[in-house]
Amino acid sequence: FKPAITGTGVFTPENIITNDELVASFNAYADKMNAVNAKAIDAGEMAPLQHSSSEFIVKASGIEQRHVLDKEGVLNPDVMHPQLRQRDDDEPGVMTEMALDACKKALAQAQVEASEIDLVICAASNMERAYPAIAIEIQKELGAGGFAFDMNVACSSATFGIQAAADMVRAGSVRKAIVVNPEICSGHLEWRDRDCHFIFGDVATASVIERSEDAKGAHFEIISTRCATQFSNNIRNNNGFLRRSRPDGVIDRRDMQFMQNGRKVFKEVVPMVSTHMLSHIAEEGISADQLSRLWLHQANKSMNDFIGKKVLGRTPEDGEQPNILQDYANTSSAGSIIAFSKFSDDLTPGDYGVICSFGAGYSVGSVLLKRR
Ligand code: CO8
């Protein structure tokens, strides 16, 4: 069978934090910490925290604002992280709640009933708990059948999830699947670190994958997918269930939030991604000038500019490689799916495009699509 993406949905949290709001809060935090540590700073035992700046953020990343589940906690200089209500075990978790909104939109676009779904994959950078699987809770709340499981490939979770679902649809073991990516990046971003406090936002995306011949309208056939990984410590988060087992009983250590060596990531990932995309399309006998659209992972504008230029062999024209990071920031695995969801309707039958993710791991995933 030929698998296809027949619907996508995006859940966007209402709260927006602009760069100026973010920087004002960070600078207030820095001033507060510098006052608290004034003695050590004066004695030269400690470096003062430096101010952040909106100009730097736009120039270094292209990000202008981000959506978050909780704005108050993040912006409060005495808190500096989201504060999310503890839920009873009997009510849906926050990831499920975000996922349901995105799934319902994707199902409506595909004109598929939730009860027809026989595979739910919750693919995201972090799960709010280890078990029971978030995907199984989503399956129950949606009223879907079949089976469900969670997977985590950081920023490449969505494309790796699409590959898993597409392969099962292709093989006939699954008829209709939904891959959902609820990303609460605000929960594991270190908002107190000037080098990265601007990078992430929250969102959820969902994609319905079924047989092309079952599609009720215009859709995208998945010609093929390619996934690759290569171990790197340059993006890392050391949080996990062994936290309490550490000799120092750690509850708040810097390495338990998002950490990265941004420059190295930039340098190493750009060639890896462009080579990956070019060899994927070459193996399908497709040349770069046959691609009408690139929906890239949304981490950094210059990074995308480089990759687009490398893949197409020229500067991409307006709209050929749409960015959404100015509005959403980096939303990990959901970024390329937001771009796909918002900028794909105008393609005409026969047009080719590639969704491509890249990030921690390192991991790279590409999905070659043909408009039908
Ligand atoms: N304001 C003002 N100045 C600043 C700030 C700031 N906020 N931050 C840094 N500076 C200063 C630095 O101190 C430095 O000063 P100096 O030159 O005096 O040392 C100068 O600005 C330049 O700093 P950098 O070299 O760090 O800046 P870059 O130009 O490299 O930009 C970026 C930093 C934006 C991080 C850039 O390197 C980048 O985007 N790299 C690619 C990162 C990337 O793609 N990462 C992917 C990670 S995402 C992923 O895989 C998902 C993980 C799982 C999800 C996690 C959810 C939380």
What is the value of ipTM here, to two decimals? 0.92
pLDDT on residue 334: 98
- Ligand 1 atom index nearest CA of 155: 51
Contact 298, 335 (CB under 8 A): yes
pLDDT on residue 319: 93
Q: Which of 29, 52, 156, 265 has most ligand 1 atoms within 8 Å of its beta carbon, as the pocket-test mutant?
A: 265
pLDDT on residue 158: 98
**Average of per-residue pLDDT across 160-172:** 98
**How far is the centre of ligand 1, averaged over its atoms, from the C-alpha of 298 (Å)?**
14
Domain extents in the chain: 221-371
Contact 359, 332 (CB under 8 A): yes
Residue whose CA is at the smallest distance from ligand 1 atom 32: 262
**How far is the centre of ligand 1, averaged over its atoms, from the C-alpha of 115 (Å)?**
44
**How far is the centre of ligand 1, averaged over its atoms, from the C-alpha of 160 (Å)?**
26
**155 is annotated as an active-site residue:** yes
Which stretches within the chain are classed as H helix? 19-36, 38-42, 54-61, 71-75, 94-110, 134-142, 157-171, 262-283, 301-312, 325-328, 335-342
pLDDT above 90 covers what percent of the chain? Answer: 95
Q: Could you tell me the fold of the domain covering 221-371?
A: Peroxisomal Thiolase; Chain A, domain 1 (3.40.47)
pLDDT on residue 242: 86
Contact 17, 162 (CB under 8 A): no
- The answer on pLDDT for 182 being more than 90 is yes
- The answer on pLDDT for 222 being more than 80 is yes
pLDDT on residue 241: 86
- State how far the Cα of 14 lies from the Cα of 33, in Å rounded to an integer: 30
Model confidence band, residue 262 (pLDDT cutoffs 50, 70, 90):
very high
- Ligand 1 atom index nearest CA of 332: 51
| Type of residue numbered 79 | V
Model confidence band, residue 245 (pLDDT cutoffs 50, 70, 90):
confident
Residues enclosing ligand 1, CB less than 6 A? 52-53, 56-57, 60-61, 125, 154-155, 185, 188-189, 194-195, 198, 200, 235, 258, 260, 262-263, 265-266, 299-300, 303, 330, 332, 359-360
The chain-wide mean pLDDT, for the chain, equals 96
**How far is the centre of ligand 1, averaged over its atoms, from the C-alpha of 118 (Å)?**
41
- State how far the Cα of 329 lies from the Cα of 203, in Å rounded to an integer: 10
pLDDT on residue 20: 98
**Average of per-residue pLDDT across 242-268:** 86
Residue whose CA is at the smallest distance from ligand 1 atom 38: 262
Model confidence band, residue 246 (pLDDT cutoffs 50, 70, 90):
confident
pLDDT on residue 248: 74
**Average of per-residue pLDDT across 269-295:** 97
Q: Chain-centre distance of CA 95, in angstroms? A: 14
| Catalytic pick among 155, 185, 227, 356 | 155
